[in-house]
Amino acid sequence: EPEVTQTPSHQVTQMGQEVILRCVPISNHLYFYWYRQILGQKVEFLVSFYNNEISEKSEIFDDQFSVERPDGSNFTLKIRSTKLEDSAMYFCASSAQGQGNTEAFFGQGTRLTVV
């Protein structure tokens, strides 16, 4: 069964450092998303990406965040200068195009700890 894969599973970084979280979406999917989940809280939408550009982003997704699809398979989330409050589980998800199939498949997540 195809799945979304994320690396690393856990990343510890010092405050102020840049981090890049990596995702490989399901190969025939065209929509890609990043979500985050602070421990014990709900899943929060960060950004959606389609046709090589951001299609929607939340207020959480400020100038410190950026996304990129550098090649045909990877989808990355970069946090330029991490803050303590960026500590969370970050989920990548992907979905196929069209009205008939909009299920979003989630990766296993990357637990980011900012110290």
Partner 1 sequence: GENVEQHPSTLSVQEGDSAVIKCTYSDSASNYFPWYKQELGKRPQLIIDIRSNVGEKKDQRIAVTLNKTAKHFSLHITETQPEDSAVYFCAAGDNYGQNFVFGPGTRLSVLP
Residue linked to tokens 């421990």: 39
Region 1-40 residues binding partner 1, contact defined as CB under 8 A? 31, 33, 35
Radius of gyration of the chain (CA): 13
Residue from the set 10, 12, 15, 41 that interacts with partner 1 by CB under 8 A: 41
Q: Tokens 């970050």 appear where?
A: 90
Question: Strands 5-7 and 31-37: what pairing?
Answer: unpaired
Q: How far is the CB of 17 from partner 1 (least distance, A)?
A: 25
Q: Which residue from 5, 17, 81, 97 is in contact with partner 1, where contact means CB under 8 A?
A: 97
Residue 108 as a binder of partner 1 (CB under 8 A): the answer is yes
Residue 60 in contact with residue 44, Cβ under 8 Å?
yes
Q: Does 48 bind partner 1 (CB under 8 A)?
A: yes
Cβ proximity of 25 and 32 under 8 Å = yes
Binding site for partner 1 (CB under 8 A): 31, 33, 35, 41-45, 48, 55-56, 58, 91, 95-99, 102-109
